[in-house]
Structure 1
Amino acid sequence: MTSTTTGPAPTGPAPTGPATPDSPVPGLVVTRLGLVDYTEALAAQRALHARVADGEAPDTVLLLEHPSVYTAGKRTNSWDRPVDGTPVVDVDRGGRITWHGPGQIVGYPIITLPEVRRDRPADVVAHVRRVEQVLIDVCAEFGLATERVDGRSGVWVREDARGPDRKVAAIGIRVARGVGLHGFALNCDADLAAFDKIVPCGISDAGVTSLSRELGRQVTVAEALPVVERHLPTLLG
C-alpha cells in the first residue's frame, strides 16, 4: 500500500486517503499530521500500535510537529531535567530527555520490524540503525555529512572548526509485540535555545544543531518532509 495522507491524529481506523504524487512510499502509509499536542500524539500512536500489532492496520509512519515540550525516556536522570522546574512528560521510550517543538520533524514509525515479518525475533538495535540511516541519508541529500557516534544515540555532525560534535537528529525507540513505537526528531529550523534548559539525551560534552544552522540557510519542515518520505523505505529492511 502506498499512501500519504494529511489530517488529525489517527485515533480510530488506520489513516487512509489520496496519495501525494511527489512522495510515494511503497509498503507504508505515511500520514502528515501537522502540529499536534504531544500527549494527543502519544495516545494516537499507542492506539495505532495496537491495531498494527493485531494485524488490523498497515505499517504506518506518522510525521508531525509538536508544540514546545520536553519528554524524558526511561534512562533520564534527575540532573538532566530543566533546572527551573519546567514540566516534563515521562514516556516509555528508550533514551533520556529531549525537546520537541516547531521547526522539528518528528517521525513515529509504527511498523512491524522486518525480522518479525520473517518469523525471527525483533532486533531493536537493527531497527534503531535503520532509523539512523534514514536520517543520515536525508542529511546527505541536503549536502550535510552526518554520522553515527559509538555509544551515543542519534545522528551527528562531527567535530570541526565550527565546534564539537553536535546532534542534528534524536532517536528514542520502543518495540512491543514486534512493532515499533516512538521514533525520531530532525531539527530543521527549530529554536535550539530550548535545549539550553536540559542536558539533551544526557550528553553534556556535545551540542545540538539543525539543518538550517549547518547549511547556513533556512530549511523548513515543509521543505524537508518530502525528503524524509523518500528515504522511509529503508525502515522496511
Structure 2
Amino acid sequence: MGTGLAIENWGVGEYLLDYEKAWAKQRELHKKVVSGESPPTLIFVEHESVFTAGSQTQPMDRPIDGSKVIDVDRGGRITWHGPGQLVGYPIIALRERFNVVGFVRSLESAIIDSCAEFGLDAIRIKGKSGVWVDAEPARKVAAIGIRVASGVSMHGFAINCNNDLSWYDRIVPCGIPDAKVTTLSVETKRTITTSEVLKVVQEKLQISLADLVQTSSPIGSRV
C-alpha cells in the first residue's frame, strides 16, 4: 500500500550533518508539510556527535563533564546522536490528530521488523518507548522521541547500527538508569552499517505508516 511519503536522505553513509543545522531544516520542512506546500516526508540522517535533551530530561540525566547538550522540543529525555547511528525524522500529517501513541507504536513496529531482517529478535517493553533486546537488564537498540504540532509530526527515532557506545556512559540514556544500550552490530556480532539499515527501514516504514499518514494538508481539514 502506498503512503505518498517522500524520502530524503541527508547524507547517510556519506557525511555527517550538524544537529542544529538539521533541526533548522526539519522545522522549515515541517512548516511546508503543515501548509501543504510539501508532501509528508521521511528524512534520514547521520549526525555529528551530540547530546540532545527532550522536555522530560532531569538534571541528573545530563553529562557532568561539561559536554554540550542541545535542548529540543520533543518528548522524552536525554540521548546521544552520532556516527554509526541512523536517525529518522518522519515529517507527516497524522490522520488522527491525537493518535500519538499509535504513531509511536507504528515506528516501533517498523524498527522491530527491520531488526528481524538482520537476524535480531527485538521487542517492545511495556511502559518504555523504543525498541529493545530482551535481556536482564534490557538493552535498548533504538530510541524514539517525537513532537506533533499542527497535526504534523517531527523529530523521530534513532537506531544504533555500529556506533561507539561509550558516549552513553556520560549520561543516563533516556532517563532509565537500570537499562543498557546496544547496537545491531554488537547483537549480531557483525558490522551492520547505517546505509544497510536505511534500505530496510524505509521500506518497513512505508508499510507501518500507511494507515496513519494524511497526504493532504492538515490546514482546514481538522478542527
TM-score > 0.5 by shorter chain = yes
TM-score (norm 1): 0.84
1:236 match: secondary structure: coil
Q: Which of 29, 32, 50 is equivalent to 2:6?
A: 29
Supply the distance in 2 between the matched residues of 1:180 and 1:137 (Cα, whole angstroms): 22
- Give the counterpart letter for 2:85 in structure 1: Q
- Which residue number in structure 2 is paired with residue 73 of structure 1? 54
2:188 paired with 1:232: no
Structure 2 stretches lacking a partner, 5+ long = 212-223
- Which residue number in structure 2 is paired with residue 8 of structure 1? none
- Which residue number in structure 2 is paired with residue 190 of structure 1? 163
User: Is the Cα–Cα contact under 8 Å of residues 51 and 57 in structure 1 kept in the other structure?
Assistant: yes
- Which residue number in structure 2 is paired with residue 57 of structure 1? 38
- Give the counterpart letter for 1:69 in structure 2: V
Structure 1 stretches lacking a partner, 5+ long = 1-24, 116-120
Q: Which of 211, 219, 222 is equivalent to 2:184?
A: 211
Supply the distance in 2 between the matched residues of 1:153 and 1:232 (Cα, whole angstroms): 17
Larger mean CA deviation between 211-220 and 134-143 belongs to: 134-143
Structure with bigger RCO (C-alpha 8 Å, 6+ apart): 2
Runs (4+) off by over 6 Å: none
Supply the distance in 1 between the matched residues of 2:205 and 2:101 (Cα, whole angstroms): 17
TM-score (norm 2): 0.89
Supply the distance in 1 between the matched residues of 2:70 and 2:51 (Cα, whole angstroms): 6
Deviations 1:143-180, CA, capped at 9 Å, x for gaps: 11111111111100011xxx520000000000011100
**What is the total number of aligned residue pairs between the two structures?**
205
Alpha-carbon RMSD across the aligned residues, in angstroms, is: 1.1
Supply the distance in 2 between the matched residues of 1:41 and 1:99 (Cα, whole angstroms): 15
Deviations 1:26-79, CA, capped at 9 Å, x for gaps: 521111101211001101111100110111100001001000000000000000
In the TM superposition, what is the alpha-carbon distance from 1:230 to its structure 2 partner? Answer: 1.1
2:29 paired with 1:42: no
> Could you tell me the percent identity over the aligned residues?
58
